[in-house]
Amino acid sequence: MSASAPAKPARSGGASAIGWVLTIGLNVVAPILTYNTLTEDHGWSEFSALLLSSAWPVLDTAIMAAWRRKIDEFAMVTLVFLVITAVVSLVGAHTARALLIKDSSVTGLFGLLCLGTLLAPRPLMFYFGRKFATDGTPESTAWWNGMWQFEGFRSTMRTMTLVWGVAYVAEALVRIALAYVLATRTMVTLSPIMIYGVLGALGVWTAWFGKRRAAEGARRQAEAEAAAAAATA
């Protein structure tokens, strides 16, 4: 009989809250504020502002490494894409349309990264899931890592990674096409709506799919246990 999934440990409220504040503050809020302040108020170039903004995820990685004695994959991915965005901003023309296309290419690269990690020992959504499904404590991290032994869990992580990858590649292609046919003013408004709309839709789907797979796994485990009990009766 296959081993049953271990129970998820109770979340540490304090550790979870601190982890979320650091994650959102240093990986999302601080880079955006730094970039906007430097480009709009101080006249910095996009490249210079993005490069300096990438210092915040570096700080987050250093704090997490010192606090939990491990490298946080979420911060590393954020850092990589800040660097990619900075590099992409230097390539080619610097017109408004070109900048919109470059912005779209970054989300497309994220989609390709998702698809590429399907060939790795563990796909990207495994690490993103660990970031948001646990509080970062050794107990919850060990629980999440231990779930990888179950085929259903592995299948769920790979399916999620595939869907995110395909969705972001498709979103990038659509935005690039629209950048050529719509007015720049229209795209400046539409582009962020598409970015956050796709992110929101993927978030809702991921939560639904994860709960559905968990329920299916619990049902199969209950059926297996009932069959084993009947066989030994």
Instruction: Specify the pLDDT at position 1.
Output: 38
Instruction: Specify the pLDDT at position 116.
Output: 95
Hey, what long-range contacts does 182-191 have (CB within 8 A, 24 or more apart)?
A: 184/96, 184/97, 184/100, 187/97, 187/100, 188/96, 188/100, 191/100, 191/103, 191/104
pLDDT per residue as tens, the chain (233 positions) = 345 556 555 555 555 566 667 767 776 778 778 877 887 788 887 667 766 776 776 777 677 666 666 555 555 666 666 666 666 666 666 666 676 777 778 788 889 989 999 999 999 999 888 877 776 677 888 888 888 998 889 999 999 999 999 999 999 999 889 988 888 778 777 877 887 788 889 988 998 998 898 888 778 777 777 777 777 76
